[in-house]
Structure 1
Amino acid sequence: MSRSEKVIITNMCMVYDDKGNVLVQNRLNPNWPGITFPGGHVNDKESFSESVIREVYEETGLTIESPKLCGIKQFQTAENERYIVLLYKTKLFKGNLKSSSEGEVFWTSREKLFDYKVANDFEKMLQVFEDDELCELYYYNKDETLHSKLL
């Protein structure tokens, strides 16, 4: 039995400030539209931490520092690949905010976050970002139906 499998590794980062604001992106991708946090794919032979710093910069114009891994999201794709999203957060950043082709980025207060149309499953992901007792959002198939659980 092989111990290897096909894997897609991505990241996402909750950038926040001391005033209760979070940086969000209104994603333009029709496969997963709505408000979420910036992030993207880990490149071949790239470190996970450096990938999230790069992705946040490309999508927001901000340079983040000391991103902390706070959890993961994972599921199987239709091509039987394991899709992993490494969830980071930081309040250390510098630079000037600018949107990209991925979508408009802007600050909003945490309390008003759900006044916007959020991306599918974002609310569950946010629980992993914010609850130190959680570390994973896991999707699995049971009886030909997709289920999720927070671990």
Structure 2
Amino acid sequence: MSRVEQAIFTNMCMIQDAYGRVLVQDRLNPDWPGVTFPGGHVEKGESFLDSVIREVYEETGLTIKTPQLCGIKQFQTLQNERYVVLLYKTGQFEGELRPSKEGNVFWIAREELNNYTLAGDFEKMLQVFETDSLSECYYQGKDESLSAQLL
């Protein structure tokens, strides 16, 4: 049995300001619409760290500093690829906030997050972002019978 598999790497970053607010993006993508944190795909040959800094800048106008890896989300796609989302968080950034083609971005109090329509399964990912004893949101099963485990 081969240990090699196709994989897609992406990232997402929880950015918190000095007032305890989090930066969210109201995504326009019909494949995964709703409020979530900014992030995107890792380009071939790009480090994971550089990719999250680039993606946050492209989607928000902010340059983040010292993002810390705090967890992962992973699942198998219908094409049998492993889809990995590297979860980062930081409280250090500079720049002027601006929207992008991905969607509008804005600051909200963390406790207000559930007042918005969240992207599918984002609540599970939030638990990994915010719980030190969790490091992974892992989906197992096939097609429609996927179930999430928080590990």
TM norm. shorter chain > 0.5 = yes
Query: Where does the alignment leave 5 or more consecutive residues of structure 2 unmatched?
Result: none
> 2: distance between equivalents of 1:136 and 1:110?
21
In the alignment of these two chains, the number of paired residues is 151
Equivalent residues in 2 for 1:105-120 (5 A)? 105-120=105-120
Q: CA deviation at 1:135?
A: 0.1
> 1: distance between equivalents of 2:116 and 2:147?
25
Q: Does the 8 Å contact 2:11/2:87 carry over to 1?
A: yes
The answer for the alignment partner of 1:103 in structure 2 is 103
- TM-score, normalization: structure 1? 0.98
Q: Judging changes above 3 Å, is the alpha-carbon distance between structure 1 residues 144 and 108 closer, same or farther for their aligned structure 2 residues?
A: closer
Q: Judging changes above 3 Å, is the alpha-carbon distance between structure 1 residues 69 and 143 closer, same or farther for their aligned structure 2 residues?
A: closer
The answer for the alignment partner of 2:10 in structure 1 is 10
Query: Where does the alignment leave 5 or more consecutive residues of structure 1 unmatched?
Result: none
> 2: distance between equivalents of 1:124 and 1:134?
11
The answer for the alignment partner of 2:60 in structure 1 is 60
Matched, 1:28 2:24: no
The answer for the alignment partner of 1:135 in structure 2 is 135
The answer for the alignment partner of 2:148 in structure 1 is 148
The answer for the alignment partner of 2:123 in structure 1 is 123
> 1: distance between equivalents of 2:87 and 2:63?
17
Q: CA deviation at 1:17?
A: 1.3
Q: CA deviation at 1:143?
A: 10
Q: CA deviation at 1:18?
A: 2.4
Q: CA deviation at 1:3?
A: 1.5
When the two chains are superposed, the root-mean-square deviation of aligned CA atoms in Å is: 1.2
Q: CA deviation at 1:99?
A: 0.3
- TM-score, normalization: structure 2? 0.98
Structure 2 counterpart SS, 1:11? strand
Structure 1 counterpart SS, 2:22? strand
Q: Does the 8 Å contact 2:78/2:143 carry over to 1?
A: no
